[in-house]
Structure 1
Amino acid sequence: MKKILFPTDFSEVATNAFVHALEFAKVVNGELVLLHTFELPIYDNQFFPENYNVIFDSLQLSEFDMFKDEIPKLRAIAEERKLDKIKMSHRLMDGNLIYNIKKAIKEEKINFVVMGTSGASGWEAFFLGSNADSVISAIDVPVLCVPLEAKFKKIETIGFTTRYRAKDKKALKDVINIAKKTNAKVRCLYVKTGNSDVSETTIKHWETEFKSEPIQFSVIPSDDVKGTILDFVLFKDIDVLAMLTYKRNFFVELFNLSLTQKIVNTSGIPILAMHE
């Protein structure tokens, strides 16, 4: 059984992503590990010798009470969607969010991470800040990034971008396996720029190798890679876009304010960031 880590701060963004996490767990026959982290303030106990421990105990108790109150709300969402049979466990951890995500992935043997991002600012923080290096680059499991605007709907089409490298095939096969479980089709996009070194023979070889799979290949000549991918998402009715993380600089450029607003305002789809 697959294990899915769901970091949450119990915000509206996280609650929306929780629905996606539940549905994703259903698709991959998985279980959820809910993670809430908090950072206690640093005090110099030489200035608070008498009430130092009291302060920390009070803060920890407050976080625990909030955690305890919010979990039943998530279980109620699962019941409403008739997904309450999905196994859920919980972790409340003190310390840095990214460090704890890594620790939970290792200790729980996590296969996927599902987490929410909030519009343009959320994408920017996720892909440009320390979260990008730690969650996208430093871990070795796929991350499903869900913007607030992405209300869950049945996955019928999964987009996948490729450069037709041999190492892209594993990720594509993983995407196809997910698609089959939800009876979805895969649309594979290659944006062929003026500097492309991919031969027609390679493209034909891929099409032959995957001809029995529910997949359609598209090769679009353009030097505007970002714009072409966004148009592909918008006009091909993509429900989830899977992308490899070998082009992290591309993520940085793709999710700038104007392009993010374009994709969010028009479709607001989740992105599955995958690793080589």
Structure 2
Amino acid sequence: MIDDPIAKLSRFAARDNRPGGDGLPTVPILGAFIARDRERIADLEVGATGLIILLDGRKEISDPDGSHHYRKGDALLLPAGWRGAVVNEPDPDSGLYRSLILMFPADMVRRLLRAHANAALGDGRRARDYRVTLTPSLTDAVLHAADGLSSGSPVSPQIAEHRCMEVLLALLETGVWWLGPVAPTGIADAVRALVRTQPDQPWTADSVARALNLSSATLRRRLAEEDSSVRRIMTGERVAHAQTLLEVEGRSVQETADACGYASRSHFARRIKDATGSNPSELRTDGRFRKNSG
């Protein structure tokens, strides 16, 4: 167990070292924000998924969902594409605002989501304020990654990247499913990543738009530009998930229907039949046969 995670993380924020430069990061980046005066950024667009941990002071972010407040010891995960206003307020006692930020390149997030698309994701509810629980395993992973990314570390870039992947996996395991980038990979990819992590949810265009910080009209327009739709993406992801559960894991038809968000077993069977040409029970039988014969 970690008795004082903030004290241990604070050693990586000894000086202001804000991520900067042009373009989006292609490797993980560790940075620290330190300020003695109140800072306000009126219109911030997040270019890369970032985990922010408050070490001193207070933070407020505002977006279409409202205003969200954080203090020392809190953590939040802002996905790529998030837009809103940010206020950083120094602590009245220490006189400092300090936060640690770990930024992940879009390709790393996509690889993580592809590899662990079916990971258990807590109770599946959206954290509307982007808050992250600093569990012991997540804190351990962040400390390990920060040590590998810090200046003068003997750790190779490949090992440091592996440690950052552990942080992403720890986030997934605590229910942080909104890792997928909104931009620049395309809105259809963002919707796929969203549905893939929670295929059992009753997604609609409105709920997807809210999750991705877009208006429903913007979501529909951008999906149409990519010749796609929420319904088409949802069906494709649910069918792919169902095939994995039936053929690879050997789940029952009812279990699979529930896991894919179908209240009606007959409706589920029709969807699978239309997409694959086989009934769910046939997919399960074929999968078990292949496994046993292999």
> What TM-score do you get using the length of structure 2 for normalisation?
0.29
Give the structure with the higher percent helix: 1
Q: Which has the higher contact order (CA 8 A, sep 6+)?
A: 1
